[in-house]
Amino acid sequence: MTRDPDPDRSSQGGSTRWSFPLGRVLGIEIRVHVSFFLLVALFVFASTGPEGQGLVSGLSWLVVLFACVVVHELAHCVVGQARGAVVRDIVLLPIGGMSRLERLPSRPEDEFAMAAAGPLASVVLGVGAGVVAGAVGMALLPIDLVTGSLLARLCWVNLLLAAFNLLPAFPLDGGRMFRAALARHHGEAFATSRAATVGRIVAVVMIAAGFLVDVWLVIIGMFVYFAATAEERATLQHLRLRGVHVRDLMHAPVDGAPVAASAPTRVLDADDEVEEDLPALVGAPGGVLPVADHAIIVGELRAVDVADWLRICAEAERGHAA
């Protein structure tokens, strides 16, 4: 699973504070979120129970399982980097992995290839494990992800990982492939909104099914629902502010006031892109920051003006879609 660039850099920083680095693979930092230890505790509890497979075996299987998740995410990153994406890092969560990006590939077909690379890597791992299992005489059926042979479990868990990620539930890989396909003919904004809507519908079905099958499916469905909404907001904001500079939205221009040597607040450059300065603007007193051009104050940027711009863009998109 990949995560789109988020205009709110502070939220990314918050995610980083709640995770710690595990190392680098192919130059990409692997981080572990603190919530991951809830899964470790669950595996310890299950492994040491009456029907458990033993602590060492249980934790070893967890390591192998998430090694497969890392391979899945690295496939996204490697293909994405080759097609223009800028990868921030990979974060391991209790429900899987997430590749965080600074920039997506610019063409829909490149985003499609990047999204498809993860499930394809999982299929290769699963088929490979199955072939080796068959060659050494290990049975693949019945499917048993708890007490089956290691090769059989590797086969099925990777095939299930690929199948799950191919669900058309944005921001899962299948949802991103769906968005990329739509974007080729309908534009990124429409494609993102439609993919997020489908993602929320699939998430609701997952939650309902989870109450009948497994509570873990409820948790994953809730994550998909809220992630679809959050990424839709962030992606649409990114698209609406792309190429918009501070001077385009600044308010109440004034003439000739020099920038003070010790300005009490941050002073924005008129040629900055609004998206880059949005976190500082939101955190500024009153949501207002002065704007300078060649060290001369020429106006101010207000958060309310940015919000109005985003609203106008959203209304124009709705009108175009209608």
**Active-site residue set:** 73
Closest by CA to 188, choosing from 105, 272, 91, is 105
- Any residues with CB less than 8 A from the CB of 213 and at least 6 apart, and which? none
Q: Is 278 helix (H, G, I), strand (E, B) or coil?
A: helix
- Give the helix/strand (H/E) hosting 29: strand 28-33
The structure tokens 């497979």 sit at 53
Burial (0-12, 13-18, 19+ Cβ within 10 Å), 135: exposed
- Any residues with CB less than 8 A from the CB of 21 and at least 6 apart, and which? 29, 30, 31
Task: List, as one string, the DSSP characters of 103-140.
Answer: E--SSHHHHHHHHHHHHHHHHHHHHHHHHHHHHTT---
- Any residues with CB less than 8 A from the CB of 64 and at least 6 apart, and which? 150, 154
Q: Find the Cα–Cα–Cα–Cα dihedral 182, 185, 187, 193, rounded to 10°.
A: -30
CA distance 255 to 296: 8
β-pair type (288-293, 19-25): unpaired
CA distance 317 to 259: 38
Q: Are 181 and 168 in contact (CB under 8 A)?
A: no
